[in-house]
Copies of this chain bind each other. A is one copy, B any other.
Amino acid sequence: MTKQGGRRDGAGRPKGSNQYGEPTRPVRLPVSQIERVLRFVREREHELPLYACGVSAGFPSPADDYAEGALDLNAHLVRQPAATFFARARGDSMIGAGIHDGDLLVVDRSLTAEDGKVVVVSINGELTVKRMRREKGITWLIPENPDYPPIRFQEQDEAHLWGVVTNVIHSL
């Protein structure tokens, strides 16, 4: 048995051939979270397949490539984590905008409340959801249900604009 190989260029496992394709570093984490974090990082558990209904041809299966790729709900629905909160809708005053009693609203405080946007406002210490309309310098809060009257919005007294609704989550 004589020498095989020897010092030479290109020998050995290539740099950057790890599972992430980039350098790694040890980080100390709480034991109970390690498994969850590894799934989060390695398998991108939060990214689930997204298919199209009503246009898809063929027979989609998890083995196929996703018709519209993968989706992370948090990343998709929450663009500004620091400025986002959720609100539970009550009543049917916004039924025309597809907001039902008990629906979960995603609200972004960093968006500007333009004309036509659905907004969350607090009036007399109570949170409420309405569509905002600006007309001749006057701002109206309009329910999307003919049973309810529009409200004139003035930043004074106890009225305060709270954020713009970006998504409605309805449970079946």
Contacts and interface: CB of A to CB of B under 8 A. Distances in A.
A14 interface: no
A12 interface: no
Contacts of A104: 50, 71, 76
A166 to B, nearest CB: 6
A60 B127 contact: yes
A23 interface: yes
A72 B37 CA distance: 15
A2 to B, nearest CB: 38
B32 A25 contact: no
Contact of A34 (B27, B71, B74): B27
B169 A51 contact: no
23 contacts: A20-B33, A23-B31, A37-B41, A45-B81, A46-B74, A48-B84, A49-B86, A50-B87, A51-B85, A52-B88, A53-B120, A54-B91, A54-B127, A57-B126, A59-B125, A60-B122, A73-B74, A73-B78, A77-B169, A98-B98, A167-B171, A167-B172, A168-B172
Interface of A: 20, 22-34, 37-38, 40-41, 45-46, 48-60, 62, 68, 71-74, 76-78, 81, 84-91, 97-98, 100, 104-105, 117-118, 120, 122, 125-129, 160, 165-172
